[in-house]
Amino acid sequence: MIDPVIASRLQFALTTIVHIIFPVMSMGLAPFLVYFTWKEIRGGDPVYEQLRRFWTKIFAVSFVVGTVTGIVLEFEFGTNFAAFSTVAGELFGGPLALEGMMAFMLEATFLGVFVFGRERVGDRLYFVSAVAVGLGTWLSAVWILIANSWMQTPRGFELVESGGREVVRLTDPLAAYLNPRFPYMFVHMQNAAVLSVALVMAGIGAYYVFRHHVWGNTVPHADFWERTLKIALVALVITAPFQVVHGDVYARHVSESQPQKFAAMEAVWETDSYVPEYIVAFPTSVEDMTNPKAKDIFGIGIPGGASWLASGGDPQATITGLNEFEEAPPVAVVFWSFRIMVALGFWFVLLAFWGAFRWYRGGLLDDDLLHKALMLSAPLGILAVELGWVVTEVGRQPWVIQNVLQTSEGVSPGLTGGEATLTLLSFAAVYLGLLTLYGYVLARIVRAGPPGREELRTVDAEDADAALAPGVTVDD
């Protein structure tokens, strides 16, 4: 059986990796849906009603699955990390409760109006429902990221004796909630969500545009897919460069507030200046492959690049090495996750401006190479988000609360290896089935495409009539 600490960490990592897909989809879609609704209400091109109805289906499915998997995560704080919940309960209880009472209830209440109420309410109330759903989605991220960012840079608390152990007592809730890490995490995460959804939209749109304009197939609603591709490219041009610029600022903050994590991101062992930014790095011996503190490495890097990144422009800046700390996180995992994430970020910038250039030159709809690149890149935004969370969480180890509580001390004391292993395997099977089902449902929605122009509003009116008493219509 796996050690309960390792099994609990693996289980929480598994459930988090799966869960984050759905909030990314719902948070990323929220601003698009508000825009589509606004354009639809203003009148004009009926394609915006098609866009709103099509992407609302994907939003609703993502919201439902995200709610279920999010509840599981909250239960795991009690089943697998009860000691952590005991220590940090006073801090964690508030944000998690507010996330449920404020954000989730706002989103869930207006989601019914937004999904089913187009013909039942006026334009103003319907637009309010779109904004409320989007606001609720983003408010959920606020409270979850407040809790997580506090674990990275804890503030506004003191440790007091309670029940024979030290626990967190809030002394300044405002300082705790608005801790130094929160604004960086929130901006980076929300922009990443919009960027990820833009890539999904661009990939799907490019597929149908490719079939229609390159292969010459007849594609229903070709104008819908062309508009989808163009809207996604506009979002990519805005979000992709911003993510790279903000990521640079974020990394500088990490180097100041969590030097151990930054050293793992850059594989820096000895405190030094003019530290290179390694593009790739490998241990020079087979034995060192399993040694987390292997110093002899072969690397290709930019001289002074890591120092420049840490300081914001000084290639001679000093970086604290991992040897200054008693324990190091799994460096290879953090190092490569960070490298791949950064590489994907620059690829998204290239992809965005490639698409914008072809659009400007009039070749957007006929560039088969661009279409293929967009199709292959559709899931890469979500992959980049996953890698970013790996860097965030694994890079903090062995601490679950930085410099306050180690992860091994936060696991439920009565949990056995057998119990933890059984639930880990069970969760892996269930979540694999859940992901398969989610993918199947999304594929069916995409294959079905948007409603036809002749169905717009007519279908909604028929649905409204069916919901009323026999013989009563909306007009009545």
| DSSP secondary structure, 155-217, as one string | -SEEEEEETTEEEEEES-HHHHHT-TTHHHHHHHHHHHHHHHHHHHHHHHHHHHHIIIIIS--
In the predicted model, what is the mean pLDDT of residues 257-268?
Answer: 90
Phi-psi region of 165 (alpha: psi -120 to 50; beta: other; left: phi over 0): beta
**pLDDT tens profile 275-287:** 888 777 666 665 5
* pLDDT on residue 286: 59
Compute the Cα dihedral for 248, 252, 258, 260 and give only its sign.
positive
* pLDDT on residue 295: 56
**pLDDT tens profile 143-192:** 999 999 999 999 999 999 987 888 999 999 999 999 999 999 999 999 99
For residue 219, what pLDDT band results from cuts at 50, 70 and 90? confident
In the predicted model, what is the mean pLDDT of residues 412-416?
Answer: 90
* pLDDT on residue 470: 39
Separation of alpha carbons 424 and 9, rounded Å: 10
- CA proximity to 5, closest of 401, 355, 413, 393: 413
Compute the Cα dihedral for 290, 294, 296, 298 and give only its sign.
positive
Separation of alpha carbons 343 and 1, rounded Å: 37
Between 141-150, 298-307, 461-470, the lowest mean confidence (pLDDT) is in 461-470
- Residue 298 pairs with which residues in a beta bridge? 282
Between 132-136, 295-299, 443-447, 453-457, the lowest mean confidence (pLDDT) is in 295-299
> How is residue 409 written in tokens?
């001390």
- CA proximity to 299, closest of 277, 271, 320: 277
DSSP conformation class of 404? T
CB atoms within 10 A of CB 173: 13
* pLDDT on residue 104: 81
Separation of alpha carbons 139 and 419, rounded Å: 35
State yes or no: pLDDT of 459 exceeds 60. no
**Percentage above 90 pLDDT, the chain:** 63
* pLDDT on residue 458: 43
State yes or no: pLDDT of 255 exceeds 70. yes
Grouping H, G, I as helix, E, B as strand and the rest as coil, residue 49 is helix
For residue 43, what pLDDT band results from cuts at 50, 70 and 90? confident
* pLDDT on residue 468: 33
Between 24-33, 286-295, 359-368, 449-458, the lowest mean confidence (pLDDT) is in 286-295
For residue 298, what pLDDT band results from cuts at 50, 70 and 90? low
1 compared with 41, residue with greater pLDDT: 41
DSSP string, 24-53: HHHHHHHHHHHHHHHHHHH-S-THHHHHHH
> What's the mean pLDDT when you consider all of the chain?
88
* pLDDT on residue 467: 36
In the predicted model, what is the mean pLDDT of residues 58-76?
Answer: 91
Separation of alpha carbons 120 and 126, rounded Å: 9
DSSP conformation class of 346? H
State yes or no: pLDDT of 125 exceeds 90. yes
State yes or no: pLDDT of 384 exceeds 90. yes
Residues 6 or more apart whose Cβ sits within 8 Å of residue 473: 465
For residue 291, what pLDDT band results from cuts at 50, 70 and 90? low
In the predicted model, what is the mean pLDDT of residues 436-445?
Answer: 95
* pLDDT on residue 474: 35
* pLDDT on residue 290: 53
Q: How many helices (H) and strands (E) does the chain have?
A: 17, 8
State yes or no: pLDDT of 465 exceeds 50. no
